[in-house]
Chains A and B, each alone.
Chain A
Amino acid sequence: MSLIFRMFWLLLSSRFKPRLPHIKPVNELNMMVLPNDLDINLHMNNGRYLTICDLSRVDMFPIITEHTMKYKKALKLFQKYTVTMTVTGWDERSFDMVHTFHVGDRVVAEGTSKGVIYSKKDGIISPEQVMETVERYLNQQ
């Protein structure tokens, strides 16, 4: 995570947002292209999209094992955009996520990623076990 200030802002502002549902969670962030996001082509650098995807996953903190991005339209300086992260499913090992960058109704980039939840004690924890734990925690609350 290299966007320290944006991450702190996100962590702070998320305290005032409703919790994500644990069934089909969709996280949405409204962002703007800043000067340090640009490359020599004066559009948002490709690596920055991946870092922004990190921000949209901050609630989960998974270890990413695969990530593919498709770039359709360039994002320019000070352009506002929305990035959504949807957990679309999981298998016995990893969660599947879809990331979409929108400007208004237009999709400017989209990607997919796979991530695992890792514990130092138990190694990789299966998504099923993660979901059971979350559900149990929510029921207790």
Chain B
Amino acid sequence: MREFSLSFEVRWADLDANRHMRHSAYNDYAAHLRVKLLKAINLDLATMAELNLGPVLFREETIFLREMGLGETISVDIKLQKARRDGSRWTFVHVFHKENGKDAARITVDGAWMDLQKRKLTALPEQFLPGLFDIPHTEDFCFEDKT
């Protein structure tokens, strides 16, 4: 996979009282992009439900660089920054770009997989590992060892 990105238009419902995109809307679009990405590697909601598997986040860091206004077209791309070899933990970086190509925000999330029946963290089933590692990597991508 060479690149995975999503374009969208800033909607009325995304705005806050300052008439720019509210900060939590960035995180909602990032979550939407992650769900689309998982679908692209054959991990759609139906498959996750079948496997009793769900993604959970431990940390979410958002840095806002430029504001975005109503009707602006934004593109967001996603890259894998860190992962355990069994796919059980991962870090994704999302970068929001304005129409003029300038970066508008950067979101980094650390997460894992949860067994929804046991409510415990679990590894990613092996058949999805090639798809996970095929996701575009950041320049500083590394495999993380268990600590």
Contacts and interface: CB of A to CB of B under 8 A. Distances in A.
Interface string A30-72: 0000000000111001111011001000000101111111110
A69 B59 contact: yes
Given A1-B17, A41-B56, A67-B62, A47 B24 contact: yes
Given A47-B28, A54-B22, A2 B59 contact: no
A47 B31 CA distance: 8
B51 interface: no
A78 interface: no
A27 to B, nearest CB: 17
Interface residues of A, number: 24
Contact of A71 (B24, B28, B59): B59
Given A1-B16, A70-B59, A46 B27 contact: yes
B64 interface: yes
- Tier of interface size on chain B: 20 to 34
B18 interface: yes
A66 B24 contact: no
B61 A68 contact: yes
Interface string A105-125: 000000000000010000000
Q: For the complex of A and B, list the 6 residue pairs with the smallest distance between their C-beta atoms, beginning with the closest.
A: A50-B24, A41-B54, A68-B61, A64-B23, A47-B27, A51-B24
19 contacts: A40-B54, A41-B114, A41-B116, A46-B27, A47-B24, A50-B23, A50-B24, A50-B27, A54-B16, A61-B17, A66-B63, A67-B23, A67-B61, A68-B60, A68-B61, A68-B62, A71-B58, A71-B59, A71-B60
Given A1-B16, A41-B114, A63-B67, 10 more contacts: A40-B49, A41-B55, A41-B116, A47-B31, A50-B27, A50-B60, A61-B17, A65-B63, A66-B61, A66-B64
